[in-house]
Amino acid sequence: MTESNETPNTQEAGDESKHRRIKSFVMRAGRMTEGQQKGLEQGTPLFVLPLADAPVDYDQVFGRSAPRSLEIGFGMGHSLLEMAAAAPEQDFIGVEVHRPGVGALLNGVLTQGLTNLRVYDCDAIEVLNRCIADNSLDRLMLFFPDPWHKARHHKRRIVQASFAELVRSKLKVGGILHMATDWEPYAEYMLEVMNVAPGYRNLAEDGKCVPRPAERPITKFERRGERLGHGVWDLKFEKLA
């Protein structure tokens, strides 16, 4: 799970046309533990998928047809691992560029013997554009992305109108975009973006945020914030026909 103080999010980079575009992360270095290194070495050949040039047949990858969720920026992977272990009847795809986090998740997958989780260790926007077929995901999760607090950095936030449209194209009708943040101004900003994004319905009864869904595990980061009196805001938007 992407935690707002440590993990990949958006940055600008020049493309071939010399125009700037939004990427889904900022690369951050980190020390590698023995377990994380083991996860990378042993888990990469089994569970890390290459960036493809055409939509991937995930029924073939997982060997079945099942409800499928994708999480952008899973951080150290604790929540994604817990969700995959709790729902063996579902398939999960995680995207993260933070190498220690990828290693930690893979080590957990190996330790628990999970078969319903695959990983991309590259830019999530590239994964969505190149690997995910339209109308194929049941759920997309974005938990605790970097809010880029300063106004001049708001353009670096991953939640933008273009992101909402890209996600909508990849969700099935009735599919869910589930976002969570521990910074209330970012929750308000997300609502501003999503409330005018075409083709979505806010699932909150009050048109704002939903109560914390039971399927989203509480992280140590979140528990620490709760003890300090910090809030967490969950947003759920359903793709309409």
List residues with catalytic annotation: 146
150 is in an annotated binding site: yes
Residue 219 among known ligand-binding residues: yes
Residue with tokens 């900022």: 26
Strands (E), 61-155: 68-72, 91-95, 117-120, 137-143
Is 123 annotated in some ligand binding site? Answer: yes
If phi > 0 it is left, if psi is from -120 to 50 it is alpha, else beta; for residue 136 that is alpha
Terminal CA-CA length for the chain: 29
| Count of alpha carbons within 13 angstroms of residue 55, beta-carbon side | 10
> 91 in helix, strand or coil?
strand
Contact 163, 210 (CB under 8 A): no
Which candidate, 214, 191, 217, 213, places its Cα nearest to that of 202?
A: 191
Q: Contact 7/101 with Cβ under 8 angstroms?
A: yes
Tell whether residue 238 is among the known ligand binding residues. Answer: no
Query: Residue 208 annotated as binding?
Result: no
* Residue 236 marked in a binding site: no
Both tokens of residue 135? 């109308």
> Per the annotation, does 96 bind a ligand?
yes
Structure token digits, residue 136: 């194929």
138 assigned to a ligand binding site? no
- What is the distance between the alpha carbons of residues 176 and 172, in angstroms, rounded to a whole number? 8
Q: CB of 211 within 8 A of CB of 233? A: no
Per the annotation, where are the binding residues for S-adenosyl-L-methionine? 71, 96, 123, 146
Q: Binding site for substrate: what residues are annotated?
A: 150, 182, 219-222
Which residues are annotated as part of the binding site?
71, 96, 123, 146, 150, 182, 219-222
